[in-house]
Amino acid sequence: MSTDSGHTHSSMTRGERVRAAARTLRTPRTASWVANETDASVKTAQKYLEQLVEDNVLRKIEQGDQTLYCVDQLMATYREVATLQREHDREELTTSLESMRTQITEWKTSYNVETPGELRASIADLDDPDEIETRREIASKWEHFADRIPIVRAALNEYDWAAERDALPV
Amino acid sequence: MGLPGTTDSSVYQGLKDVLQRYPVVTTVTYKPDSIIRESLRAQIDPNLIVPPTGPQSPTFDIEWRFVENEPYYRIHYADSNTGFNCGWHRDDDHPELGPVHFQYHDPLRDEQHYECARFKKTVPTEILWAALDRLFEHRIPTLTGEL
């Protein structure tokens, strides 16, 4: 069994490790939990977590006598919308949106279901392991597309307005 | 088998950050593209790994999914120059080896191997750091060294 050497970790400072780890916090965690995970001191973890709160990357939640941190999903989504607007033209976003929608329509028709949950539920009646695996994988992909579609649509909705705001001053 | 669960592309921001800072990594991109974001792919400089390989850049793929808060992941290296590939997988493919296993396949030596593996940390970025260190400092030099 391999062990964690930690050797190359030195190429990333403790602060950078805390910052990278903090961006994956789906569940609210304390500074001491983050410190333990990143081999940083609680003081160092707290310093960087607080900076990320100020930068609107993390949200701070007071729960009883504990302070917890997690990713600010609303701000993360806004940033992602802006990134899509900046990195892709309208046609690319539209093509991608249409392709995800078409794919979902095809799955609905092929499996005669309306939601990925229904597709997962249909697995219970099957014996063929390959078909079970195919449906499980499609349900996961469908759920992922359902997450992505509103973000891409949001990027398209205000595309011109965003492009105008993003223009460099001449 | 594919990974169970659903992709949470927000986790990829931190993982991308780690990959971009790792010395042998040249570029990091989303797959199938940066709009859909199902997984991450890093291109590896073939001259910077030990032993060197080439001329094509090996790839390092990362996929992270969740069933509620339970993580499932695949961290996989593949060298198209030699066909060698290996990685750490947390999935349901080898329950006899525990939640995480390491596997490699080396067509040149006709070897295929699976073993149980473990990471001390649970946060995705620290698991990735540990996997990168193990891969480039230990696994590749040992498994693909002198025949």
Cβ burial of A84 (10 Å; 0-12, 13-18, 19+) is: buried
- Nearest CA to A26 among A66, A76, A62? A76
Q: Nearest CB to A5: which of B13, B121, B137?
A: B137
- How many CB atoms neighbour CB B78 within 10 A? 17
pLDDT digits (tens, 9 = 90+) for A95-109: 999 999 999 999 999
Q: Which residues in chain A touch residue B137, judged by CB atoms under 8 angstroms apart?
A: 5, 7-8
Q: Which residues contact A57 (CB under 8 A, 6 or more apart)?
A: A22, A23, A71, A72, A75, A76
CA distance A150 to A81: 10
B18 and A CB contact within 8 Å: yes
| Cβ contact A2–B38 (<8 Å) | no
For residue B33, give how far its alpha carbon lies from the nearest alpha carbon of chain A (Å): 10
Interface test with A, best of B15, B93, B129 (most A CBs within 10 A): B129
Q: Which residues in chain B touch residue A133, judged by CB atoms under 8 angstroms apart?
A: 1-2
Write the DSSP string, A44-112: HHHHHHHHHHHTTSEEEEEETTEEEEEE-HHHHHHHHHHHHHHHS-HHHHHHHHHHHHHHHHHHHHHHT
State the ipTM, two decimals.
0.90
Structure tokens belonging to residue B84: 């060698």
- Nearest CA to B84 among B129, B140, B24, B146? B140
Q: Which residues in chain B touch residue A152, judged by CB atoms under 8 angstroms apart?
A: 35
CA distance A102 to A110: 12
For residue B76, give how far its alpha carbon lies from the nearest alpha carbon of chain A (Å): 16
- Nearest CA to A117 among A152, A149, A146, A150? A146
- Nearest CA to A143 among B5, B34, B11, B71? B5
Q: Write down the pTM of the prediction.
A: 0.92
Bridge partners (DSSP) listed for residue B73: B64, B90
For residue B18, give how far its alpha carbon lies from the nearest alpha carbon of chain A (Å): 7
Q: Do residues A156 and A94 make contact, with C-beta atoms less than 8 angstroms apart? A: yes
| Cβ contact B125–A143 (<8 Å) | no
Q: Which residues in chain A touch residue B21, judged by CB atoms under 8 angstroms apart?
A: 11-12, 16
pLDDT digits (tens, 9 = 90+) for B40-98: 999 999 999 999 998 999 999 999 999 988 999 999 999 999 999 999 999 988 999 99
pLDDT digits (tens, 9 = 90+) for A53-87: 999 999 999 999 999 999 999 999 999 999 999 99
Confidence of residue A125 (pLDDT cuts 50, 70, 90): confident
DSSP assignment, residue A40?
A: -
Closest-CA residue of chain A to B11? A24
pLDDT at A6 over 50: no
B75 and A CB contact within 8 Å: no
Q: Do residues B18 and A20 make contact, with C-beta atoms less than 8 angstroms apart? A: yes
Write the DSSP string, B96-120: GG-SEEEEEEETTTTEEEEEE---S
CA distance B125 to A38: 9
